[in-house]
Amino acid sequence: MNFQTEYEILTSLNSDQILEIAFQFNNHRIKVFFTKRENQEFFILVCANEQFSFVKNYGIYFNKNNTAFLGGHMGEYYPYAKGLTNEKDGRFTEFYDKLKQAIQSIQNPNEEFSIKHLNPTEGIQKITDAQKKSKRPKDKIYFYRIARTNMQDIHFEKIEKILGKEAAHHLRNSGLNAHFTDDIARQKTFILKETKK
């Protein structure tokens, strides 16, 4: 999904803080967290309803024209994210439209979206607490490092679920492998840019 306008808004903010945006969508409490701190850029979704919650780490990618895209595939979180789908076609377009509105509300505030700028310790703690309460508290979803090792099929599948198919193919074709942690404080920036040929 094209995410250029929203990425420009997010990256124009104070890079020493963690942004938290909260809103309601289809009886779900949504929080997104973003930071562009040095060596630790992330965009995290926390979704909760009366029955369960989940935490999803999104990848942001850049195409050959340096346009930002958000990898919106829910992967293993789909069973928990069904309440975010469109009623007619089961896709997530209405949810992602609302997410874009939430980010755009940084420039045009309104009562529908709550916006906070958190210090890093407070922001990391909120994400850690949400992860502990989620349906999958031990999931290693935060990018930690790259290793120059051959990628086995099981690793490819995991990378595909977390970072997306394009990232998994790019890493495999480059002879690289990604490693993940369940500790948001150890998350590192992961940027994938297509190169012009």
Q: Domain locations in the chain?
A: 4-138
Residue 197's pLDDT is: 56
Encoding tokens for residue 79?
A: 């069973």
Is residue 83 within 8 Å of residue 28, measured between CB atoms?
Answer: yes
Bridging pattern class, strands 60-62 and 192-193: parallel
Residue 193's pLDDT is: 66
Q: What are phi and psi of 110, to 5 degrees?
A: -150, 170
pLDDT of 114-167, one tens digit each? 999 999 999 999 999 999 999 999 999 999 999 999 899 999 998 888 887 878
Q: Please, where are the H alpha helices in 105-178?
A: 120-133, 153-163, 165-173
Reduced to 3 states, what is the DSSP secondary structure of residue 20?
A: strand
DSSP-assigned letter for residue 184:
G
Distance of alpha carbon 8 from the chain centroid: 16
Residue 47's pLDDT is: 97
- How confident is residue 195, by pLDDT bands cut at 50, 70 and 90? low
Average of per-residue pLDDT across 37-49: 90
The H or E element spanning position 146 is strand 142-147
Sheet of 40-48, strand order = 53-58, 40-48, 28-37, 18-25, 114-118
Q: What is the mean pLDDT of the chain?
A: 91
Average of per-residue pLDDT across 67-88: 89
Residue position matching structure tokens 């407070």: 122
